[in-house]
Amino acid sequence: MSERTRRGGAGEYERATRAAKYVLDRTRLWPRIALVLGSGLGDFAEGLTNAARIPYAKIPHFPRSGVPGHAGRMVVGGSGGVAVAALQGRVHYYEGYSAREVVFPVRVLAQMGAQAIVFTNAAGGINAAYGQGALVVVRDHLNWQGTNPLIGPNDPRFGPRFPDMTEAYSKRFRQAALEEARRLGIAEHEGVYAAMHGPSYETPAEIRALRTLGADLVGMSTVPEVIAARQMGLGVLAISCVTNMAAGILDRPIDHEEVLRVGEQVKQQFAALLAAIVPRIAEAISPVGTAGKA
C-alpha cells in the first residue's frame, strides 16, 4: 500500500469505487445488505447461495488480515432470497493499519450499494448477566481507541465532516434482532461495547474502569467501521459474541485459543440468528422492494 493510501489522501473514494467494481464484475447480485464477520464467526457466509468468493488479496487496494480465525475473503451471495455481501475476516487497528485503512472495506461495501451493514465480533463480557457464548446486540459504543477513521481530509462524497452518532445502532434493527433471538430461543441481551486498542487484553483495573463508564462489552474492533458506515448513511446493526468474561471477572487468564473455541461453539447459532435477521433488515430498508433479491 502506498504512503498516500496509508495517509488516506486524495483518491480514497476512487480506490473504493475501483474495488467495488472489481467485486460487482464477479457477481450478478446487487447486495444491499453487508455483513462483517469477526474472528471465528464467518460461518454464515458458508451457507450463501449462488456465492462468489473473492479473496481480499485479489480485490484492488483491500487490506489483508494476518489474524488466525480470519479467512480474508468477500462472499457475495443469497441468504433467504436477499442478496448480501459478507466479509469473512477484518483488519484491526492493532495490526498496524491506520483507522482509515481499517474502514476501507466498509467504504467498498457502501460503494457496492449496501444500505445496511451488520457487524459481528468477539468480545469480552463485562456485564455479569452475560455468560460465555452469549450473543449481545450492541446498543451503543465507547470509542476508547484514541483515534477515529475520519481524521484527516474529508471527502464529502463519503459523507459529512461531523457525522451524528446519536443513534449509531439502528433502533429498528436492534429490535428486529432481539425479536429474532427470542424466536430462536437465544437469550436476549443488549449492551454498550467499548473499543480498546489491543492487542493485549485489558487489565482488571481497566475493566473496572470501563464498567464504571457504562460498558457491558469490550473488544478491539467494530467501532471505527461503525463510524465510517454512519458517515456514509448506512443503517448499522452490531452483535457481539461473548467469547470470554473480561479480565478480572473470573479468576483466570484470557487466551486467544479460548476466544476462538467459544466462537466455534456458537457459530451455528450465530449463523442462524444472522439468517433470521437479514430478511428483517431487507424489509426495513425497502418494505416491498425486490431490488437486490438473490
> Which parts of this chain interact with ligand HPA (CB under 6 A)?
122-124, 196, 201-202, 218-220, 243-244, 246, 254, 259
- If the CB atoms of residues 180 and 202 are measured against ligand HPA, the closer one turns out to be 202
Active site residue 61: no
- If the CB atoms of residues 48 and 99 are measured against ligand HPA, the closer one turns out to be 99
* Distance, CA of 73 to CA of 271 (rounded, Å): 17
* Residue 121 cell numbers, joined: 465480533
Which pairing describes strands 116-125 and 235-245: parallel, antiparallel, or unpaired?
Answer: parallel
Active site residue 141: no
Active site residue 79: no
As measured in angstroms, the least distance from the Cβ of 66 to ligand HPA is 16
- If the CB atoms of residues 52 and 123 are measured against ligand HPA, the closer one turns out to be 123
Closest of 198, 222, 171, 192 to residue 36, by C-alpha: 222
Cα distances (Å, whole numbers) of residue 213 to 63, 72, 174, 194: 33, 34, 22, 9
Tally of helices (H runs) and strands (E runs) in the chain: 8, 9
As measured in angstroms, the least distance from the Cβ of 202 to ligand HPA is 6
As measured in angstroms, the least distance from the Cβ of 127 to ligand HPA is 13
- If the CB atoms of residues 38 and 159 are measured against ligand HPA, the closer one turns out to be 38
Active site residue 94: yes
As measured in angstroms, the least distance from the Cβ of 195 to ligand HPA is 9
140 touches 259 (CB < 8 A): no
Active site residue 256: yes
Q: Which of 101, 221, 238, 271 is labelled catalytic?
A: 221
Active site residue 148: no
Active site residue 92: yes
As measured in angstroms, the least distance from the Cβ of 193 to ligand HPA is 10
Nearest residue to ligand HPA, scored by beta-carbon proximity: 124
- If the CB atoms of residues 56 and 201 are measured against ligand HPA, the closer one turns out to be 201
Q: What angle in degrees, to the nearest 10, is found between the helix axes of 104-111 and 12-24?
A: 60
Q: Which amino acid is at 111?
A: Q
Q: Which of 94, 143, 154, 283 is labelled catalytic?
A: 94
Q: Which of 83, 122, 196, 238 is labelled catalytic?
A: 122
Active site residue 39: yes
* 1-5 CB contacts, 8 Å cutoff, 24+ apart: 1/61, 1/63, 1/101, 5/61, 5/101
* Distance, CA of 176 to CA of 189 (rounded, Å): 13
Active site residue 143: no
Phi, psi of 134 (to 5 degrees): -65, 145
Active site residues: 39, 70, 92, 94-95, 122, 220-221, 244, 256
